Structure formats: C-alpha cells, structure tokens
A and B are shown apart, each in its own frame.
Chain A
Amino acid sequence: MPIITAGQLQKEYDVVIVGSGAGGGQTAYTLTMEGVKVLVMEAGRSFDVSTEVAMLQWPSQAPLRGEKTPDKQYGFHDCSIHSGWEIPGEPYTNAHAEVENQFKWWRQRMMGGRTNHWGRISLRNGPLDFKPRTRWGMGFDWPIGYDDLAPYYDKVEMLVGVFGTNEGLENSPDSSPGVLLPAPKLRVGELYAQKHGRKVDAHIVSIHRAVLTKPQDAEAIPAKLHPDNAKAQRILAESMRTRAPCFWATDCHRGCAIRANYDSQTVHLRPALATGNLDILPNAMAREVTVNKDGKATGITFIDKTTGREGHAKGRVMVLAASSMESVRLLLNSKSNLFPHGIANSSGKVGKYITDSVSSSLSAHIPVFEGMPVHNEDGAGGPHAYVPWTLLAQNRHGGLGFPGGYHLEFTSGRQMPAVNVVSSIDSRAGSASVLYGKKLKEEARRFYGCQLGFGAQGTMVPNDDCYAELDPDLKDQWGIPVLRFHWKWSDFELNQVKHQQTRIRGLLEALGGKVSKAETDPAKAIKQGGTVIHEVGGAIMGADPKTSVTNQWSQTWDVKNLFLADGAPFASTADKNPTLTIMALAWRMADHLLDELKRQNL
C-alpha cells in the first residue's frame, strides 16, 4: 500500500484519517503497526523531505535573499509550500473589522502538514494544565489528568527523539529516566542569561526539542514501544537507522533531509507505509463526513484537486486530524437531517473555545556581547535553552492577574544574517549619520550577534468570544463553505502580556541590555490571535456530552466511530507548545480505537 491517486482507493478502509501532520501521522503509525488498514487523506501534494528541502543554501542563492513574500510567508528557504495566512482560492473571514478582534489562520497544504514548519519545541503539559478550573476557577478541566497522558509522552518522546534535561520543576514535567536524548551545550548568550537571569528569578534550563543529538537506540526502543509485535519492532528499528543525528547546522524550519529532526513523514508515515497497511491520498481536500441513517459515519467526501472531481473514501472509523480549525470546518460542513447543525454538534460546542498562545516579545542590545570572538553557534537549528514558568508559587490563586503562566523562548543569537542585519546599526553605534564604507563594515562586525530577545508563550483562558462558525455566504474555490472567526482577548491575556513585557525587560536589563523600544500598551504588544500558530480547541473534550464535543478518548459523543486527533479536543491550553501533546493524545486515542475495534464496538 503506497501513495495513491483517487482512482486507486480501496473499496473500504478500517480507518480513514483526514490530515497527515502530527495527529494524523501518529494515528496512522499506531494503527498500521497493529495491522489496521488505514487511508490518510492530505489536502496538499506529496513532499520528499530527503530531496526537496534547502538545508545549506545561502540566502544569496534564493530570490530576494530569501526574504518573506506572499508566496513564501516565512521566507524562501522555509520548508513550507502552498502555505500561508492567505492562500489563493482558500479564503476565510472575520466577523469583526478591528485587527485586535480578528484571527489569522495559518494553513499548510503539504504532506506532513505543519510538522514541516515548527521549532520542534516539545514541552509536556503539566498536571495543573489539565485542571485549570480546579486550580484557578477558570477555563475547563480536561476529563483526563497528567498521569493518563504521561506514559504516552514517554512513548512519543522515544519514538520521535527529543533532547532535553529533567529539572524537577513543578508543572513542567520530567520525562521518565532514559527517555530524553542528551541536551546540547548552551550557547554563550544562553549561558550568560542563565547566570545573570538569576538576579530576576529567571531560571534558565535546557529546552526540550525533537532533534536527535545522537542516533536513536534502534536495539532497545522498538521493543519498549511495541512489545510482542516483532514486525512493528523490525520496521521501527529500520526506520530509526535511517535517521542521522543532527549535524549542527541549518535552521530546523528548513526541513531536515538527514531526518535528524521530527516531521510526520520522517517519523510516522514512512514506517506506517512500510507496514503495507497504509494508503496515502494526496491532493484530496476533505469536504464532509458522510453518515448513514443510523447516524454512523460512513466515509469522507473529498475534492480531488488534480481533477476537480468529487470522490468518496469509505471507512469503518473516521479520524479528523486536519488541524484544529480545519477539523471544525469539516464537522460544521457535515450537515444532514440527523445533524442539521453539523455532525457531532448536539452540544452546540463545535467551533467554540478556540485559544492560541498568549505571546509578546522584546529584545535588547547587550553591550557585553560586542566584539565577541568569532565562533559558530548554529547548534541544533533552534534554541537550546528556555525560561520555564517558575512563578507558580506567586500565582497560586491567580494573584498576578491571570491564571497559568508563560515560558520564554530565546529569539536571537549569532544566526545566519538576513537582509535586515544592519538596519538598526546607526543608533546602536551612537552615530548621527547612516554608516557606510569602512566604518560600516567595522561596526557591523562589532555589533553582529549582540541582539538578544525573548518571546513569551502563555496560557490563554478559553472564552465565549473566541469561536469559529461557517460564513453564511462565502465558499472556497471548490465550493466548500469557509470559516468565519470571532476573536476577543480578555483582561487575563492583556494582564499577562503586561507581566511578560515587564518580566522580559527586567531580564534583559539584568543582562546589561539596552531595550530600545518597548510597547507599554498590552493590546498592542500582544501577538494577534492565530499568529503563534498554536490554535487549539473548537471540539473540546469533556466529561459531559452537553458541554463538550468529545469524551476523554477524543471520540465524539454523538457519533461513536468519529474521532479527532489534532488540537481541536484540547479542553484548555497550557503555556506549553501543543504539538507534543497532540501526538501523545493521538496515540492514546488510537490505542482506545484499537481496543474498540477489537471489541467490535465501532
């Protein structure tokens, strides 16, 4: 079973999965390793990470020195194709005119989805993140706790390969012994911040990222992940042996031809294909979940983008992993006599309680870094350290003006120069004129790498004003109704951003930094909803069918053979980046799905 065209679809599959990213990939992996016949449907084209990504190309070898354009919205060498906030022919709308009340929606139409483009930051949600209502009286408690997911975090980390250290921090959980790969050495800026950040209670530790810092243990891990399954062990071991460890160059966002970092194809889809149990149908834009008269899902109607024709894939079980908002759109567009408001929406909660990370950033010039001895600090293609949230004791009852917390990610260092590399050099050098000539070259060298900054990512409280619905009029180029977003920050987010800005400023000043400009209005400093690309929710899980869309297994209350495997079932968000949790949740869901298939309950 391979990558197929619409004409090559099997008559029926055990499971049809919509989406090939983190959730779809993990689900396909777990199911096919156990012999389940699976179809993965992907709206984008096939993409070969081993031959199509630009790892070592210089900016001067790209149009416009690789700068962002509307065609490549994260820059030319970023590993995103057919992707963006705005995609030709695929509109969405916002109900409100004010930018602060608008949501921006990133779509990534390619095999592997958004796993091609992410920082590989892999932090676990902590115990408090699953119970925000119990702790702070707001948000929603998940119907599961950290202990339910912890074994799956271990499994996912062993499968994908995550480096990091165990620090014993409250609510930023350790992994089980032996799970994490060695953390890389910290860079000079990270070490300097680690030492001087202590003055302002910034506790800087190694970050966790899905990058191999050494070869995976292909002897031991497969047996741990697939006990009593010799075939799965063999396939996984072979897959692990094709992955090289990081060669300490290039930004992970470019994609990794040597397979040192995680993306869904490298880690999930290749071994899943090797089982012989997986078909992948690219260029298939899912439109609707079809149902029979008993209210069971029967398949997925899709548009074959290569021909424009409609097709239908049949399955015993459907799993939506199309990205939180795309899965919401699919649910809402699946209307029938039985489900007039969209499938699995008897609670009316489909599309509700969307959250993104609460984020703002600030950077400063650090004079002590001037004239730094030249050295290469590419490292693992992204941050090696971060500032976890360690102010829980101070915020036990939300006394800081917001529940939860935020972590800080380093945003700079001695990175590959971009076009704007000298744009603020004149003021930094204290010059009254635009520097040029010999002086420019000297000062450029002296100030290169002296900028240090932090980006905050924090907990957003789900609220009634952040939701998606179908636009009553507008359709995309295939005639599929599009989403209309509603967005509104509450005071909790704005209070948090105020705190972020103050905290980052204090940290930068503790490093001797000169903060050039700081935005004091949190409504302006906060990054627009959706732009962190951490949107989750929209089909939240819960303990009560009246107030949630799925049960604790991401299985919809209304349709028992319909599951979700992306960020949509998140009941509440954490300050942690969501991808690792999406994978752990998908694996747990897939295990339950397997059990239910065996029991013939689906």
Chain B
Amino acid sequence: MQTPASLSRISRRVSLQWMLGATAALATPERHLFAADPVTTAKGYGPDPSMVKIYAPGDVWPLTLTDPQRRTTHALCDLILPADDSSPSASAVGVPDFIDEWISSPYPAQVGDRHTILNGLKWIDEESQRRFNKLFADLAIDQQTALCDDIASLKPKPALKKAASFFKRFRDLAAGGYYTTPEGSKAIGYTGNMPSGTFDGPPVEALKHVGLV
C-alpha cells in the first residue's frame, strides 16, 4: 500500500472533522447559547510564520466562543486557578482567551477538544440552572465547588462520565494556559528564561534537599 504524505489528504480530513463538529454544535437544542460559528474557513499560521512576533489569542484565527460561553469559561478558569497571595488568577493572565483560541483552532488536534469543551460548558450551565436556578458564573464559590466536586471524581457516576471527562480536559487546558505565562511559570517555580553571565549550577539548598551535600 502506498501512503502519500500529501497535504490534500490532511485538508480533507480537517474539513471533514470540522463539519462533524459543526453538525454536532448545530444539533444542540439551545442554539442561541452554543451555535458558535463553525470555523470551517479558518486557517492556521502556515509553515513560515514570524516566530519573533508577540501573538495574542485571536490574532491568527478568530475566537468563536459566544458571550455566555465566555462567561462560563471565565468563571470555571478562576475556580480552577484562583488568585492567591503570590500569584494571579487564571483570568488575570488571559486563560479564558487561550481556551477560546484553542477550541477555535483550525488544527486537527484541537477539533476534538472543541466538541468536548462546548458540550461541557453547556452541561455545566444546565446543571447549575437545575440545581441552583442560576448560570454557573452567577453561583457562589461554594455552589460552584459543590457542582465541580461531583464531576472532578476520577471515578464518576455513569451519568456524569461525559461531564467528568470535560472537567479533566478543561482543567488540563486551563492549567496549561496558566503555567505557560510568565506569571504562571513563576507560580509553579520556573525562574528561567533569564539571560545571565554565568551558570552556577544548583544552589546549595537544592543539593541539600536531595542529600548531595
């Protein structure tokens, strides 16, 4: 069998996946909330983008979350990564925009996430309406926590399985978006990316920590 590694095949696959994703989105009953434009026409940055340029979400392809979806995303991001004494909240460093950029991406790896995230956002608002008569973003923190604790279990009840896999994926993306910022990097303990005249090796307290001195 021959397997030509041609682009046209990838393009066909990408558009097919987009159509499937778009169809799924259209099939949802509450279209006013969740009919984000299918990004069938969005393009990636191509094989030769400027690498030195500073990009923000939305610079290369349009963001597609609706305002209600963005509100829910914002609230969920900050519940997952709240501000504390030493580091900012997720929304303060642009994580909701990153999530939007990610699920709006024309690249194949993100297409599956789009489906998961949009359906999950829908579920979480419906669930909070059902339980508290409010949208998720309008809940008190302890109500948000109660709701998320149910879907944070690594062994969820069968009825919550989909919501749980959404939560895990959303958490991973939110944390990934957070810790890849300068502020997030500092919060996790990465202090590099800083030119220096010398490299002195590990400090003595690090060596002590592992019993090397």
Interface residues of A (CB under 8 A from B): 45, 51-54, 56-72, 76-77, 79, 81-89, 91-97, 102, 184-188, 191-192, 195, 246-250, 254, 368-369, 371-380, 414-423, 426, 431-438, 440-441, 444-445, 448-449, 471, 473-474, 482, 484
* A-B contact sample (14 more), CB < 8 A, given A88-B47, A93-B3, A95-B2: A57-B54, A61-B55, A65-B98, A65-B180, A71-B107, A188-B202, A246-B199, A249-B193, A373-B209, A375-B202, A435-B152, A436-B152, A436-B171, A441-B82
Tell yes or no: B168 within 8 A of A by CB.
yes
Known A63-B101, A69-B44; contact A421-B188, beta-carbon cutoff 8 A: yes
- Asked if B3 and A66 sit within 8 Å, CB to CB, the answer is no
Bound together, the chains give a CA A445 to CA B189 distance in angstroms of 6
Bound together, the chains give a CA A169 to CA B108 distance in angstroms of 47
Interface residues of B (CB under 8 A from A): 1-7, 10, 44-52, 54-55, 57, 59-60, 79-82, 84, 87, 93-94, 98, 101-102, 105, 107-110, 145, 148-149, 152-155, 164, 167-168, 171-173, 175-177, 179-182, 184-185, 187-203, 205-207, 209-212
Q: Which residues of B contact A435 (CB under 8 A)?
A: 152, 171
Q: Which residues of A contact B80 (CB under 8 A)?
A: 436-437, 440
Known A69-B44, A191-B202, A440-B175; contact A85-B5, beta-carbon cutoff 8 A: yes
- Asked if A444 and B179 sit within 8 Å, CB to CB, the answer is yes
Q: Which residues of B contact A188 (CB under 8 A)?
A: 202, 206-207, 209-210, 212
- Asked if B180 and A192 sit within 8 Å, CB to CB, the answer is no
- Asked if A441 and B105 sit within 8 Å, CB to CB, the answer is no
- Asked if B79 and A437 sit within 8 Å, CB to CB, the answer is yes
Closest to B200 in A: A185
For A184, give its contact among B6, B52, B102, B199 (CB under 8 Å). B199
- Asked if B4 and A474 sit within 8 Å, CB to CB, the answer is yes
- Asked if B51 and A76 sit within 8 Å, CB to CB, the answer is yes
For A65, give its contact among B5, B6, B79, B176 (CB under 8 Å). B176
- Asked if B51 and A250 sit within 8 Å, CB to CB, the answer is no
Q: Return B64 CB to nearest CB of chain A, in Å.
A: 14
Q: Which residues of B contact A51 (CB under 8 A)?
A: 52
- Asked if B1 and A96 sit within 8 Å, CB to CB, the answer is yes
Across the A-B interface, give the 4 residue pairs with the lowest CB-CB distance, nearest first. A185-B201, A419-B176, A88-B7, A378-B192
Q: Which residues of B contact A249 (CB under 8 A)?
A: 192-196
Q: Return B197 CB to nearest CB of chain A, in Å.
A: 7
Closest to A59 in B: B180
Q: Which residues of A contact B87 (CB under 8 A)?
A: 441
Name which of B4, B44, B84 has the most chain A CB atoms within 10 A of its CB.
B4
Closest to B54 in A: A61
Q: Return B9 CB to nearest CB of chain A, in Å.
A: 9
Bound together, the chains give a CA A192 to CA B195 distance in angstroms of 25
27 intermolecular pairs with C-beta atoms under 8 Å apart:
A52-B52, A54-B51, A59-B181, A60-B182, A63-B101, A71-B49, A76-B51, A86-B5, A89-B7, A97-B3, A188-B210, A247-B196, A247-B197, A248-B195, A249-B195, A375-B191, A376-B192, A418-B176, A418-B180, A423-B172, A431-B154, A434-B164, A436-B79, A437-B80, A438-B82, A438-B84, A474-B4
- Asked if A445 and B188 sit within 8 Å, CB to CB, the answer is yes
Bound together, the chains give a CA A66 to CA B53 distance in angstroms of 12
Bound together, the chains give a CA A318 to CA B209 distance in angstroms of 59
Q: Return B7 CB to nearest CB of chain A, in Å.
A: 4
Q: Return A93 CB to nearest CB of chain B, in Å.
A: 4
Closest to A422 in B: B175
Closest to B177 in A: A65
Q: Which residues of B contact A376 (CB under 8 A)?
A: 191-192, 194, 196
Closest to A213 in B: B199
- Asked if B145 and A437 sit within 8 Å, CB to CB, the answer is yes
Known A248-B195, A448-B189; contact A87-B47, beta-carbon cutoff 8 A: yes
Name which of B3, B57, B152 has the most chain A CB atoms within 10 A of its CB.
B3
Known A434-B168, A484-B2; contact A56-B195, beta-carbon cutoff 8 A: yes
Known A62-B55, A91-B6; contact A441-B81, beta-carbon cutoff 8 A: yes
Q: Which residues of B contact A380 (CB under 8 A)?
A: 199
Bound together, the chains give a CA A68 to CA B44 distance in angstroms of 12
For A53, give its contact among B44, B52, B110, B184 (CB under 8 Å). B52
Q: Which residues of A contact B206 (CB under 8 A)?
A: 188, 372-373, 375
